[in-house]
Amino acid sequence: MDISKRISTNSQVIEEALIKFLTQITDPAFGIHNKSELEYLVFELMKNTGIFNDNTSLYSLMTELGITQTKASQLIYNYDVRKLEDDKTLDEKIIESLLNADFAKDGDYFVLDIESPLLRVYLKKRLKEIGHVSDGSFSQTVVRMNLNAVSGIIEYYLPKKEHKKVKAALIEAGAPDGSFKGVLKSSLKYLGSKVLGEGAGTLVDNFRLFLI
């Protein structure tokens, strides 16, 4: 990693980041922070000076810093927790993840590849709140949910006042008439399909429209 080519060229940004870093490692006294805290503060300095950004992948952190996936995940988790202002941002990211999800090969599961450890924890929390569980045993970054769980989480995020309108639009686009959750599950099957016909494409467009 060539830091000289990635660090910010804005002298004010560098100055502010260094002042913050030096203040943190000397407060309340120099040398009292443990190894993991010092590693986090150096990582935060790298973020604040533009060496890494919010779009830096887990793999990039592992290879460029020469660290394990566990340590890279912990750095990201600590950073996200300390920077989190409210749940709204996490809710928006979950919806974005749902829109970009693919079904597993058996067709019964939504597979969400979520690198952010904080977002995975938050999603599992939301699922528990509405009475569902997720399967995270396949991979550290993958969350698997069955159709009932996925439709439940989407029903949770769609305002109640929008249910009737969404249901009518999806039925008109080709989903079978039934309960709101039933229409959602039918639409999700189309959304997760690897090969989409003309009717399914219309259904996907309508489905995405009301989630965005």
Task: Encode pLDDT of 165-198 as tens digits.
Answer: 766 766 665 656 666 677 677 766 665 554 334 4
The better pLDDT of the pair 183, 51 is held by: 51
Q: Residue 102 — pLDDT band, cuts 50, 70, 90?
A: low
Same domain for 34 and 57: yes
The better pLDDT of the pair 167, 80 is held by: 80
Give me the pLDDT at residue 85, please: 77
State phi, psi for 28 to the nearest 5 degrees.
Answer: -85, -10
**Average pLDDT taken over every residue of the chain:** 79
Q: Identify which of 89-103, 113-127, 181-195 has the greatest average pLDDT.
A: 113-127
Give me the pLDDT at residue 175, please: 58
Same domain for 188 and 138: no
Q: Alpha-carbon distance 129 to 97, whole Å?
A: 19
Give me the pLDDT at residue 144, please: 78
Helix, strand, or coil here: 103? strand
Of 83, 109, 137, the one marking the end of a domain is: 83
E strands along the chain, which residues?
Answer: 102-103, 109-113, 135-139, 142-146
Same domain for 110 and 62: no
Same domain for 149 and 165: no
Same domain for 113 and 133: yes
Same domain for 77 and 8: yes
User: CB neighbours (10 Å) of residue 18?
Assistant: 13
Of 83, 99, 116, the one marking the end of a domain is: 83
Number of domains comprising the chain:
3
Same domain for 170 and 194: yes
Q: Alpha-carbon distance 44 to 76, whole Å?
A: 10
Are 28 and 39 in contact, with CB atoms under 8 Å apart?
no
Same domain for 76 and 98: no
Give me the pLDDT at residue 132, please: 82
* Residue 191 belongs to domain spanning: 159-212
Same domain for 94 and 79: no
Same domain for 151 and 113: yes
Same domain for 68 and 9: yes
Of 127, 142, 157, the one marking the end of a domain is: 157
Residue 146 has pLDDT above 90, yes or no: no
Helix, strand, or coil here: 116? coil
Same domain for 100 and 52: no
